[in-house]
Structure 1
């Protein structure tokens, strides 16, 4: 992956260009000390003068207010791509706000010295200005002062909003600081570089901060100041950097240098302008679709760049972009190559499940690997931000809504939840997940809530989603991509990096189980219900997370952790296909394998081939395989197979319990209830007994589970065995040496 670079042949300005920004994906505005405001088009790089600024106004920064979302048009597309409000800051401490017609709406004297940064907030409700006087102020959209959030003696070089507008990051001398805007919040400040920090950027989705300084290095930090990555020293100072809107890429600029990096810091490619001196790059900015960058230079030249040679792989297919409108699709096995040309610029594209889905400026193209020359085209879909492919459907996210399509081009679902339209711009790959028959979306306003939609035809949850509530805010969710409709599981990671799992068919009362700690990210296999997760210096594989989650012993038996120090730092998950997991570290791809027999075992489960699964385990004689078979067989009431599997896995207590269950009358309420208890579904066991009028058995069950209040409630309601409940309660308290404290029992004493 690299930038294809273009630059203006003759600079319009002989002064340095520090004020430059995108109005939309096709237009760029810039101004410099010649007091002229120019508009450039990216297609042919033509330039036209838009307005003349006052002679005493020397621009230092420029930022367009991007629209919150485009309005739907009659054709189903979106309109209103451009911005209509422009903020320009000056060297004399003023800022002006211009409308689309370049008329000055506000002219505000904000600082006593040069304004180095002026930025609209992500929600568009206000703006910040940071000056060399050491002051950062927040203003309303109309230019009225709201507050002064930072006031120091030292000069501030750069300031940026947090993605949710709840904090401001700024650099001052060799330090980087994060100032939360909440009342009585504490400032976080750390020494970032050996020299002055010249530029910073805050990623939208990964919640990391990048900084570049006079020590010729750029660094990646978390919001608490912990260093994630430090680059090697360049020849010259790092003068500008910026994260792409989706947070996946980082552009870094210096003297005669533009570098394309992964968000974790390592470099994809580097462009050096050695033949012609362009000077230092200032104010690198990405277009809103994340495919193009622009930057002004110290010599008055404007740099344009778009990404080419972006590569995706899936099984036997490899797709590479060779230009703005061209993708080359390789079949590695058949050794064939197809060139796909598009009439419009490519924005987003994904490869998987035998399909290539490409979003251009106004269309979505669906290619089947078997019929590559006859794509299905969906018109009217604009500003596509996210594409996620599933086995049956694929998902699109634009500026207005979420869309679920089949691979035949039919709109399957347009899911909505409370305040969903206002949260679309905050969606990313970590907070939305498409499974086999399920869609899960994390709520942005309350990040401890997940909305779950059922994608099966005619399902009630298509229009009225279930909600899952976590105790802590969540950072990542993932729905499994394989299995039967009854075997769909959702995992999520909270801010404490704990990993939880629940069955998405268990609503509305979802039972949540904790299966891991200190987990950074997870990924489900595309072919099985096997889960892989990354920790700081190791990775874990859960071979049976859904069925084993109710029993900590089974989770321990079916989970393996391996060291990753040999791969290096900053590891990311690329793909999980079949038995192969692809990891990427510092640009290099490593492939690791999970146990192949477990992959085969999951496929046998899906086909209900229990005898073949049992023969496989007898052949291999592996404890992980036996434990996986035991968990699966227990859930599906295969008692004989479950008993043999637990015996081979040396779980003697469960073998004895299964023997007790088998001695009960087959298919009786008691046996079904005991089997539910075996699988951790205690509420289901109680319901089975009560539904079959097994009142004494239900009371005894509650006593076994120490659910004393519930046992008393059932006994009083049915006017039976109340004395038994009181007697057992008394024996329980006597054994513990405690006094009665439950008000329901105190009334009966």
Structure 2
């Protein structure tokens, strides 16, 4: 993955460009010391002068009104908020006319930002004050009074707190006065820039000491960059929270959410003062000290599934290759590609206007359907359906392009992170964004589900702790659908969604990442120094059975924040903290056994256990046979693993019930 950078030969601004902001996925506003507000169109390459402000108008920060689904009037979506060096902030319409000017600070007003819900705005300045204003520019409160300049401040994702800089420290001030503020020393030098992402709830800071660091909302350091030669002048998260950008003097660096670097470019731009991502997370614009506005889009994104590899090689071009047959093809699209997903024998490519569904056996005959809005933040795949998450909402489609469902998920669907949603073959689960202890599981009309009239299409699950990650099982009927979740204590729980009284059963603790096998009910988790596979997660109600059917393998040098990428045929692909991938063969035989059981091939399952002669495999067969009432098989398996009390109980059952129930 890397950036393809472009800018005009001659700068359109005279002097320093201080701020940029996106109007939509193709239009960018920029403003600088030449007092001009320019509008750039990336489709036709045009640059228009919207207006020229007065000579004493020196902008320091610019932010467009957030696009939210509240039914508000359209003109509010085009309001621009600009902070200036004379201490004022200005509310400007998209034609460049100043609607309102407010004296906000003594000295320069360094920050002006709309709240995520658009209900208000905050400003921060050289006088050390941080203030909150109404949408119309009326002062609501002075949140912070300090004797040090506040170089940057930002809203929390839910608008309940603000993060601001104070020298070399970061401070989170909660707007609820009963909650104490959180303050920590973050750098050795003055902190110049911060960013807080709504999807992963992580914070980046950049400082004069040349370091950028990643923090959680409690002030715990998660990652630190290499030391750069110059101060970090700007940092910015991608909307999805899976990447971020660092800007410095003649330097722009694209990094993964863990902090390791994808690519480093050194354009001759001087210091980069402002970086803004497009809402689809595929493009960015940067304000440069030499008068240029730099544009970049992400290319060489790679996706793999089994023996297929897919790479985005250009804005509108995707190449796909079958590694086994060495057959390859280049897929050209009429519009810019913004999201790609591959799995379950399909390749799904979303452009600005349409979504293309390719079968991996026939790449050149895709199914297409139009999108509601060209701002897709995520595509999820399951065996029988596709989930498309865009600003207009969440939509579930079949692989034939038919709309199956549009689950409700709140006012800002684009802030749903990948950890907060999960798609199964017949279900869609998401964490409630207003109360993260609540999980909503929606049943999907895939045509294979037969419901009674009193069935509820939405199941509400309430956990006792805040949920950080969820995953739906991918196999079995809907009444056996399982949901695995990680809470903020890193405890792993599993629950059967359709139980009359769903019960969360704990499988383990200190789990960092989880994934279900796409073909069986094998659940794999990653700990700091090991990979663990729960072969029979339904056995969690019996602690001794759970221990017997759990496979673990120790590994080392995982680094910080490792994650599981995939599992196939018992081979787990793990991404280390530094971004490198490696494979661990963990549960090949248990997964083979689970496939036999799923197809009711009990004799083949017995033959597999007799051949391998592994105690864990026999334990899995014993538990599964017991659950499926295969008492003869269960008796033999329990005897092999020395569970003689269970053997006696089965013999008692077999002697007291008709023979036909035991076969």
Residues 269-348 of structure 1 aligned to structure 2 (within 5 Å): 269-273=263-267, 277-348=268-339
Shift in Å, 1:86: 0.7
1:21-40: CA deviation from partner (whole Å, max 9, x where unpaired): 11111111111122111111
Higher mean C-alpha deviation, range 482-491 or range 175-184: 482-491
- The Cα RMSD (Å) is 2.2
Q: Is the 8 A contact 1:204 1:247 kept in 2?
A: yes
2:421 alignment counterpart: 432
Q: Is the 8 A contact 1:116 1:131 kept in 2?
A: yes
1:55-100: CA deviation from partner (whole Å, max 9, x where unpaired): 322110000012113979xxxxxx9799311100011111011123
1:648 aligns to 2:637 (yes or no): no
Aligned to 1:566, the other structure's residue is in SS state coil
Q: Number of aligned residue pairs: give it.
A: 656
Cα distance change of structure 1 residues 36 and 297 upon mapping to structure 2, 3 Å threshold: same
Q: Is the 8 A contact 1:23 1:66 kept in 2?
A: no
2:460 to 442, 453, 467: 467
Aligned to 2:633, the other structure's residue is in SS state helix
1:244-269: CA deviation from partner (whole Å, max 9, x where unpaired): 00001111111111111101100011
1:597 aligns to 2:586 (yes or no): no
Q: Which runs of 4+ in 1 moved over 4 A?
A: 79-82, 460-463
Q: Structure 1: any 5+ residue segments left out of the alignment?
A: 73-78, 673-749
1:350-388: CA deviation from partner (whole Å, max 9, x where unpaired): 011111111111101011111111111102432222210
2:439 alignment counterpart: 450
Higher mean C-alpha deviation, range 386-395 or range 433-442: 433-442
Q: Distance in 2 between matches of 1:664 and 1:441?
A: 46
1:395 to 387, 390, 401: 387
Q: TM-score, normalised by structure 2?
A: 0.95
1:101 to 70, 95, 98: 95
Residues 331-370 of structure 1 aligned to structure 2 (within 5 Å): 331-370=322-361
2:535 to 510, 518, 543: 543
Shift in Å, 1:649: 2.4
1:119 aligns to 2:108 (yes or no): no
2:504 to 503, 509, 512: 512
Cα distance change of structure 1 residues 286 and 627 upon mapping to structure 2, 3 Å threshold: same
Higher mean C-alpha deviation, range 15-24 or range 565-574: 565-574
1:242 alignment counterpart: 236
Q: Distance in 1 between matches of 2:324 and 2:383?
A: 22
Q: Is the 8 A contact 1:415 1:463 kept in 2?
A: no
Q: Distance in 2 between matches of 1:653 and 1:500?
A: 29
1:156 alignment counterpart: 150
Higher mean C-alpha deviation, range 484-493 or range 253-262: 484-493
Q: Is the 8 A contact 2:570 2:589 kept in 1?
A: no
1:676 alignment counterpart: none
Cα distance change of structure 1 residues 462 and 573 upon mapping to structure 2, 3 Å threshold: farther
2:474 to 478, 481, 486: 481
Aligned to 1:618, the other structure's residue is in SS state helix
Cα distance change of structure 1 residues 462 and 374 upon mapping to structure 2, 3 Å threshold: farther
2:18 alignment counterpart: 18
Cα distance change of structure 1 residues 568 and 446 upon mapping to structure 2, 3 Å threshold: closer
Q: Distance in 1 between matches of 2:90 and 2:75?
A: 23
Structure with the greater alpha carbon radius of gyration: 1
1:573 aligns to 2:561 (yes or no): no
Shift in Å, 1:587: 2.2
Cα distance change of structure 1 residues 667 and 139 upon mapping to structure 2, 3 Å threshold: farther
